[in-house]
Chain A
Amino acid sequence: MLNAALSVLLAAEEEEGGGIDLLLPAPAELIAGIIAFAVVFFFMWKWAWPAINRSLENRQKAISGQLGEAEAAKVEAQSLLDDYRSQMADAKSEANRIVEEARAQAETLRSDLVSRAESEADQIVAKAREDAANEKARALQEARQEVADLSIDLAEKVVGENLDREAQRGLIDRYLTDLERMA
């Protein structure tokens, strides 16, 4: 293909010197090219170049502004997070304290109840003992009275006359007391 192109070029050159014509700029095209490029260059120099730089600067500003905002937002979020975390920690320790307190209260309440119950039980037992003792003493007293009376009755029947009841009773009492002492 390149050969085909070259052969055309060479043939043209041999025939009519077209190759040389090809190498020389045509005046109309040269003038058009100069004007066209001059317009492009002046446009690029005076308008496009400042516009390009302005556009880049604006973008740079916007991006760095946004980065700054993002940084501020990040800092704010961090402080919020810190606040939240410390609040969390406070709440947790508060909860712990409350639980601890409740537990302590429950403990004292329990031990109170237990000790009260114990003392009550002790009181009941003591009272029961006392009652029993009283009952026993009373029974004993009654028994003693009965024994004295029976003994006097028996003795009257044996002796066949009324005895001084009060004196005899004292005698028997003394005797019983002696017995108790000896026992």
Chain B
Amino acid sequence: MDELILAVEECDYVNEVVCKPANVLELFEFPPLFDSINRTVFLIGLAAIIVLAVVYVTYRKPRLVPTKFQAAVEALVGFVKDEIAVGIIGPEGARYAPYLLSLFLFILVGNLFEVTPLINFPITSRMAIPGFLAFLTYVIFLVAGIRKQGFGYFKDIAWPPGVPVAMKPLVGIIELFSILFVRPFSLAVRLFANMVAGHVMLSILLASGVIFIGAVGEIGLRSTIGVAWLGMGLLIYVFEIIVSVLQAYIFTLLSAVYIQTSVNPEH
């Protein structure tokens, strides 16, 4: 919370109704801690360590009758493995399960940083993470398509079978554009934009709430505005937990769907 309040410390709570930074980047860019390591870089490393630790602790000595923690992680892993990897892609999906599992857990932890007390910053709101992960998915589904169908993969996209000949050029262009350009960008931007919006809303609402309520001695009754902002902020906080899980799921699910369309061209 400290850095949120720092980011809007020059708040004009006497005249304005909400506290917002002069530049939105103040909410997303932190000064370097040392060298080029800033808070975000540190949090990216922390997300990886948390994923490793959770999986390691769960599967180091798995019990036949799982503990609650083991059962919870097994449920998550089983969901990605059975519902997403094998469920969407089919029997071949098991090959992609380690990737999808990494994707889901890394994004999930990264997203949940948004609502983790004392962290309150989703690393997935920095284009580096969703951009890189979307690019990886892009490369993987292209490579999977080429490996499976050779050059026919692109031919089938540009000259789609099962479409009336008159429509083939139009559908082909749309498909080519959508698969080769829209897919990676939409995948990256969907996650990125959701987390940016969530972080902007949460930080502005909670910071405004705290600042207005804190200034009660100076502005009197006007500080009730802060109560409204804080209330809304807490509501959005809960909402953001759902969004964090949902966006991690959607990113993983769409990655699986894209891989599936490359692996099973008939669908």
A: which residues have CB within 8 A of B? 1-2, 4-5, 8-9, 11-12, 15-16, 18-19, 21-26, 28-30, 32-34, 36-37, 39-41, 43-45, 47-49, 51-52, 55, 58-59, 62
**B154 at interface, CB cutoff 8 A:** no
Q: Which of B20, B41, B106 contacts A40 (CB 8 A)?
A: B106
Which B-chain residue is minimally distant from A21 (CB atoms)?
B25
CB atoms of B132 and A40 under 8 A apart: no
**Are A5 and B201 in contact, CB atoms less than 8 angstroms apart?**
yes
Q: Which one of B93-101, B168-176, B216-224, B253-261 is at the A interface? A: B93-101
Q: Can you give 19 contacting A-B residue pairs, CB < 8 Å?
A: A5-B201, A8-B21, A8-B204, A9-B200, A12-B25, A22-B25, A29-B128, A30-B132, A34-B132, A36-B44, A39-B48, A40-B105, A40-B106, A41-B98, A43-B56, A44-B98, A45-B99, A47-B56, A49-B101
Tell me, in angstroms, the Cα distance from A22 to B132 when the chains sit together: 15
Report the minimum CB–CB distance from B82 to chain A (whole Å). Answer: 10
Given contacts A8-B21, A30-B128, A62-B64, whether A41 and B102 have CB atoms under 8 Å apart is yes
Structural contact, A28 and B41, CB atoms closer than 8 A: yes
What 4 A-B pairs come out closest when comparing CB atoms?
A36-B48, A25-B128, A12-B24, A29-B128
Q: Please, which residues of chain A bring their CB within 8 A of the CB of B106?
A: 36-37, 40
- B44 and A12 within 8 A (CB): no
Q: Chain B 11-52 against A: per-residue CB contact (8 Å), 1 yes, 0 no?
A: 000000010111111001100000011101100110110011
What is the CA–CA distance of A23 and B101 in the complex, to the nearest angstrom?
26
Within 8 A of A (CB), among B105-133: 105-106, 123, 126-129, 131-133
Q: Assuming the A-B contacts A4-B20, A12-B24, A22-B24, are A51 and B59 also in contact, with contact meaning beta carbons closer than 8 angstroms in the complex? A: yes
Confirm or deny: B62 has a beta carbon within 8 angstroms of a beta carbon on chain A.
yes
A93 to chain B, nearest CB (A): 49
Known contacts A32-B41, A40-B52, A58-B64; A18 and B24 CB within 8 A of each other = yes
B88 within 8 A of A: no
Q: In the complex, how many angstroms separate the beta carbon of B18 from the nearest chain A beta carbon?
A: 6
Asked if B55 is at the interface of the complex by the 8 Å CB criterion, the answer is: yes
Q: In the complex, are the beta carbons of B59 and A40 less than 8 A apart? A: no
Cβ of A43 to closest chain B Cβ, rounded Å: 5
Contacts of A29 in B (CB 8 A): 40-41, 44, 123, 126, 128-129
C-alpha gap A28/B71 in the complex (Å): 37
Residue numbers in A under 8 Å from B41 (CB-CB): 28-29, 32
Residues of A within 8 A of B74 (CB): 55
* Further pairs besides A4-B20, A26-B127: 9, Cβ < 8 Å: A5-B200, A22-B24, A22-B25, A28-B41, A32-B41, A33-B44, A41-B98, A41-B102, A44-B99
Contacts of B47 in A (CB 8 A): 36
Measured between C-beta atoms, what is the minimum distance from B125 to chain A in Å?
9
A2 contacts across to B, CB distance below 8 A: 197, 201
Question: Is B157 engaged at the interface, CB distance under 8 Å to the other chain?
Answer: no
Chain B: minimal CB distance from A65 (Å): 11
In the complex, are the beta carbons of A25 and B102 less than 8 A apart? no
Contact at B128–A32, with CB atoms within 8 Å? yes
Contact of B62 among A36, A47, A55 (CB under 8 A): A55
Cα A67 to Cα B97 in complex, Å, equals 30
Tell me whether A1 and B59 are in contact in the complex, defined as CB-CB below 8 angstroms, given that A12-B23, A22-B127, A32-B128 are known contacts: no
Is residue B225 within 8 Å, beta carbon to beta carbon, of the partner chain?
no
Decide: A18 and B23 in contact? CB cutoff 8 A: yes
Say yes or no for B146: interface residue by CB 8 A criterion. no
Complex Cα distance, B126 from A30, in Å, reads 9
Across-interface contacts of B60 in A (CB, < 8 A): 51
Known: A37-B106, A43-B52. A26 touches B24 (CB 8 A): no
Whether A49 touches B24, Cβ cut-off 8 Å, given contacts A9-B200, A59-B64, is no
A4 and B204 contact, CB distance less than 8 A:
yes
Given A23-B127, A26-B126, A36-B47, check contact A44 B23 (CB 8 Å): no
Which chain A positions have C-beta within 8 A of B99?
A: 41, 44-45
A18 touches B200 (CB 8 A): no
What distance in Å separates the Cβ of B61 from its nearest Cβ neighbour in chain A? 9
